[in-house]
Amino acid sequence: MTGTALSRWTMSYFAAAVVFLVGAQVLMVAGFGFPATAAEAPETLVVVHMVTIGWLSLLLCGALFQFVPVLIAQPLRGEWLVLPALVCLLAGLASLLAGFLQLAGMLDTDIPLLALAGVLLPTGFLMVVVVLAATLWRPTLPLPAQFVAIGLVCVLVTAILGGFFALLLSGFLPAPAGIDVRTEALPVHIAIGLGGWLSFTAVGVSYRLLPMFMLSPDRERASSRVALWSGAAALLVVALTAPVAALLEQAGFSSAANPAIVLAVVFAVGCLGFYCLDLVFFYRQRKRRTIELNSRSAQGAFLALLLSAALLVGLLAAGRLGQHIGALIYLVAFGWLTGLGLSQLYKIVPFLTWLECYGPVMGKKPTPRVQDLVVERRDRIWFGLYFLGVLTGTAALLADAPDLFRVASTATLLATLAIVAELILARRLDNVPSGKRLPDGASRPRLFLPTLHG
């Protein structure tokens, strides 16, 4: 990636994302939302969307603006839309969260907040997709970019459904006749959002980041292509199951959707299996013999992904998915997605900071290594504490132990705060010895705003 143009607003996306992650964790420690309240309660929806939109989606958008050009060796197109997209997403999310508080009776206003969110959020995501799709548009794409392209379709579906729900709750749209939105459309919104936009895209990005950071072979493998098409098939089945089931139910075949659910799970497990084969290949064939902390801590996220798949299959087999869906979503969101996000931020932030600060003088002046911007020996304990907290929290939700869940959430919050503090130290170059910190021609980068010159 050396020599690649830096995305001007990526750090701003990252900073906003981290704020929402910490805010959501603080609310969980305080007992706000599930499991203290029902999973469908407005308070729970506040926390859920702070995590899925505020943290995970902003994180992924910021990362894609930087790495999609790397995937296809082309500059980012339509970059002028990146900042308006961020403004729309932040304004839309603020409206959405305030609208949920309005539904909970905690906010008294006549402003149609949910309706406003139902317009702003899809608009923001549409601008993100326009920029990334325009950059990706070409006859053939490398495999990681194909994952991202499918993820972009999924975010559009998720955003459109989310906007529909917001307008429906606000009363601006009438309830559709003959359709139970909660049982037919909401599962698609959740599955396509978590499984398609967030997970499938994260898998695609990992196909590029892991080989790049571990110096592993990054050629396309047959197993990678099978993972792509298996995952795409699972998402397609999920997207079609609800509408097809509704039509069949009207025709008198109320149980006809069950085979489709099983088929989607089979495709998803197949995708996961081949993805795991590729992960093993990356780790075993790496040229960098010492595994850095970002790649080592990512193993915790991959383990959480495997545990999530096992939990899903087990709950489906036992007929208890509805009872424990909260525990499954928590493990996916915090174990797999957040675990991967934090582990890769631990490398991406120092890496981009190094490029921004030392790239202009590379080869002209002595510069520190990227690893010198962080202190791995000090930081590994925080990743261990984080994943331990997530596993304990998942067990607490399965055991219906809300007090234990709050204790576990406290552990994950403390670990997250420590990791974020380390990212700030890296951004400020505080871990670099003063004699090497700023050679002539290098300048300290701004914390999260771009340097508006050049």
Give the pLDDT score at 360: 75
Amino acid at 45: L
Q: What are phi and psi of 362, to 5 degrees?
A: -60, 130
Mark whether 75 and 206 lie in a shared domain. Answer: yes
Strand-pairing partners, residue 362, are 365
Q: How many CA atoms lie within 13 A of 361 on its CB side?
A: 16
Mark whether 79 and 194 lie in a shared domain. Answer: yes
Where among 215, 244, 273 does a domain terminate? 215
Mark whether 178 and 327 lie in a shared domain. Answer: no
Residue 76 covered by a domain = yes
Mark whether 27 and 172 lie in a shared domain. Answer: yes
What is the spatial distance between Cα 419 and Cα 47, in angstroms, rounded to a whole number? 21
Residue 291 covered by a domain = no
To which residue do tokens 């505020």 refer? 54
Give the pLDDT score at 331: 98
Joined tokens for residue 437: 């910190």
Cis peptide before 35 (omega within 30 of 0): yes
Where among 167, 192, 215 does a domain terminate? 215
Q: Taking a C-beta distance cutoff of 8 angstroms, is the pair 445, 427 a contact?
A: yes
Residue 340 covered by a domain = yes
pTM, two decimals, is: 0.94
**Nearest Cα to Cα of residue 52 among 201, 154, 194, 159:** 194
Residue 301 covered by a domain = no
Where among 215, 249, 283 does a domain terminate? 215
What is the spatial distance between Cα 276 and Cα 262, in angstroms, rounded to a whole number? 21
In three-state form (DSSP H/G/I as H, E/B as E, the rest C), the secondary structure along the chain is CCCCCCCCCHHHHHHHHHHHHHHHHHHHHCCCCCCCCCCCCHHHHHHHHHHHHHHHHHHHHHHHHHHHHHHHCCCCCCHHHHHHHHHHHHHHHHHHHHHHHHHCCCCCCCCCHHHHHHHHHHHHHHHHHHHHHHHHCCCCCCHHHHHHHHHHHHHHHHHHHHHHHHHHHHCCCCCCCCCCHHHHCHHHHHHHHHHHHHHHHHHHHHHHHHHHHHCCCCCCCHHHHHHHHHHHHHHHHHHHHHHHHHHHHHCCCCCCHHHHHHHHHHHHHHHHHHHHHHHHHHHHCCCCCCCCHHHHHHHHHHHHHHHHHHHHHHHHHHCCCCCCHHHHHHHHHHHHHHHHHHHHHHHHHHHHHHHHHHHHHECCECCCCHHHHCCHHHHHHHHHHHHHHHHHHHHHHHCCCHHHHHHHHHHHHHHHHHHHHHHHHHHCCCCCCHHHHCCCCCCCCCCCCCCCCC
Cβ within 8 Å of residue 446, ≥6 positions away: none
Mark whether 28 and 177 lie in a shared domain. Answer: yes
Q: Taking a C-beta distance cutoff of 8 angstroms, is the pair 400, 436 a contact?
A: no
Mark whether 63 and 192 lie in a shared domain. Answer: yes
pLDDT in tens, the chain (454 residues): 444 578 889 999 999 999 999 999 999 999 999 999 998 899 999 999 999 999 999 999 999 999 999 888 889 999 999 999 999 999 999 999 999 999 999 988 889 999 999 999 999 999 999 999 999 998 889 999 999 999 999 999 999 999 999 998 888 877 776 566 666 788 889 999 999 999 999 999 999 999 998 999 888 899 999 999 999 999 999 888 766 655 555 555 554 456 777 888 899 999 999 999 999 999 999 988 889 999 999 999 999 999 999 999 999 889 898 899 999 999 999 999 999 999 999 999 999 999 888 877 776 777 888 888 999 999 999 999 999 999 999 999 999 999 999 999 999 999 999 999 999 999 999 998 887 787 776 678 888 888 654 4
Distances, alpha carbon 15 to alpha carbons 54, 105, 202, in Å: 10, 30, 19
Give the pLDDT score at 454: 41
Give the pLDDT score at 2: 46
**Nearest Cα to Cα of residue 354 among 332, 373, 378:** 373
Q: What are phi and psi of 254, to 5 degrees?
A: -70, -25
What is the spatial distance between Cα 145 and Cα 209, in angstroms, rounded to a whole number? 12
Give the pLDDT score at 94: 98
Say how many domains are in the chain.
2
Residue 416's domain spans which residues? 321-442
What is the spatial distance between Cα 258 and Cα 448, in angstroms, rounded to a whole number? 48
Residue 62 covered by a domain = yes
Distances, alpha carbon 208 to alpha carbons 70, 113, 232, 312, 356, in Å: 9, 39, 19, 27, 21
Largest CA distance in the chain: 77
To which residue do tokens 């928590």 refer? 330
Long-range contacts of 252-258 (CB under 8 A, 24+ apart): none
Mark whether 328 and 198 lie in a shared domain. Answer: no
User: How many residues appear in the chain?
Assistant: 454
Residue 254 covered by a domain = no
Question: What Rg value do the Cα atoms of the chain yield, rounded?
Answer: 22
What is the spatial distance between Cα 358 and Cα 365, in angstroms, rounded to a whole number? 9
Residue 448 covered by a domain = no
| Count of CB atoms situated within 10 Å of the CB of 330 | 26
Give the pLDDT score at 240: 83
Residue 225 covered by a domain = no
